[in-house]
Amino acid sequence: MTNPNTDDAAAADHALKAKHRAMWAQGDYPSIAAELIAGMGPLLVQRSGVGPGQRVLDVAAGTGNASIPAALTGAQVVASDLTPELLEVGRALAAERGVEIEWREADAEQLPFGDGEFDVVLSVVGVMFAPHHRAAADELLRVCRPGGTIGLIAWTPEGFLGHMLAVMKPFMPPLPPGAQPPPLWGTEEHVRELLGDRVEELSAERRELVVDAFASPEEFRDYFKQRYGPTIAAYRAIGDDPDRTAQLDRALADLAREHDRGEGDGVVMDWEFLLVTATRAAGA
């Protein structure tokens, strides 16, 4: 006999994940990964000590920002993501670079891998968008072997992307019950609470990504309006309200203007992120 409450919860989770999958398939996230944040993957690979012969899992891998540099070291890499459209782009990029990677469609909160299967588990501004942080953290730990490494990069709440998500929040539907805001992963306290005593030697460092790709705040806004799934979702939520659309237009351009430290020749912004590495504790 089935439990109606359990069935309802499973149906709600399935619908939520389908919504997330569709959101990241919108626009052109591969161009953002290639043009703005390409350096973050190699940085995390280096800081996580990825090397030849290791078995590596990239969670919420997108188009392979960390997967491809990890494979280039000689590691055996599995790239998993909820959105198959991003994985298809990643396959093509890996083929261009001449590396073999296993690409798997997978939910970060229910990874289809065995306990302790990987030497290194990575995620670059990916797992932070899984709605249930505890479930995602539990999976990162479960699939990492004792003594293995977990390496994460997440946008901080205080940094530019954290501010951008906060600016968009009033224009979007509220988070469903139990879901948590993505930028919490960018706070050391939250990550330590999630991982707890199941890890050792946790290191957390705030760093900045310099973004100078835009000639004006309005160009930045239009770029994200056309390419970034969460921004596209915000505009679609208010698509029948021209006044609200104009408000969001102004808010995003103003945000870039406030963070611009350039001197008139294009926009220069520093996007803060948290880089975490930790060792999976033995026996945890």
- Kindly report, residue by residue over 108-138, the tens digit of the pLDDT: 999 999 999 999 999 999 999 999 999 999 9
| Residue 183 CB neighbours (<10 A) | 23
Per-residue pLDDT at 8 exceeds 70: no
Contacting residues for 284 by C-beta, under 8 A, at least 6 apart = 141, 146, 197, 198, 199
* pLDDT > 70 in the chain, percent: 96
- Tokens linked to 50: 């990825």
Per-residue pLDDT, 3: 62
User: Residue 15 falls within a domain, yes or no?
Assistant: yes
Whole-Å CA distances, 126 to 85, 103, 151, 222: 15, 15, 12, 23
Per-residue pLDDT, 5: 57
Collapsed DSSP state (helix, strand, coil) of residue 219 = helix
- Tokens linked to 1: 């006999």
What is the count of structural domains for the chain? 1
Contacting residues for 186 by C-beta, under 8 A, at least 6 apart = 128, 154, 155, 156, 157, 159, 162, 272, 273, 274
pLDDT tens, position by position, 139-151: 999 999 999 999 9
Which carries the bigger pLDDT value, residue 7 or residue 212? 212
User: Residue 253 falls within a domain, yes or no?
Assistant: no
The Cα–Cα gap between 212 and 33 comes to 15
Whole-Å CA distances, 65 to 43, 120, 211: 10, 15, 17
pLDDT band of 9, cuts 50, 70, 90: low
| Phi, psi dihedral angles at 9 (to 5 degrees) | -65, -40
Whole-Å CA distances, 18 to 10, 25, 106, 218: 12, 11, 12, 31
pLDDT tens, position by position, 23-72: 999 999 999 999 999 999 999 999 999 999 999 999 999 999 999 999 99
User: Residue 127 falls within a domain, yes or no?
Assistant: yes
- Residue 8 CA, distance from chain mean position: 28
Whole-Å CA distances, 266 to 37, 210, 254: 18, 13, 15
Q: If you average pLDDT over residues 88-109, what whole number do you get?
A: 98
Q: If you average pLDDT over residues 13-20, what whole number do you get?
A: 88
Q: If you average pLDDT over residues 162-166, what whole number do you get?
A: 97
| Contact (Cβ atoms closer than 8 angstroms) between residue 251 and residue 126 | no
Per-residue pLDDT, 149: 98
Per-residue pLDDT, 4: 57
pLDDT band of 80, cuts 50, 70, 90: very high
User: Residue 69 falls within a domain, yes or no?
Assistant: yes
Predicted TM-score (pTM) of the model is 0.94
Residues of the domain holding 34: 11-210+271-280
Q: If you average pLDDT over residues 62-84, what whole number do you get?
A: 98
Per-residue pLDDT, 85: 97
Per-residue pLDDT, 15: 86
The Cα–Cα gap between 14 and 18 comes to 6
User: Residue 54 falls within a domain, yes or no?
Assistant: yes
* pLDDT > 90 in the chain, percent: 90
User: Residue 18 falls within a domain, yes or no?
Assistant: yes
| Contact (Cβ atoms closer than 8 angstroms) between residue 62 and residue 29 | yes
pLDDT band of 11, cuts 50, 70, 90: confident
Among 100-109, 161-170, 255-264, 266-275, the range scoring the smallest mean pLDDT is: 255-264
User: Residue 67 falls within a domain, yes or no?
Assistant: yes
CATH number at residue 19: 3.40.50.150
User: Residue 43 falls within a domain, yes or no?
Assistant: yes
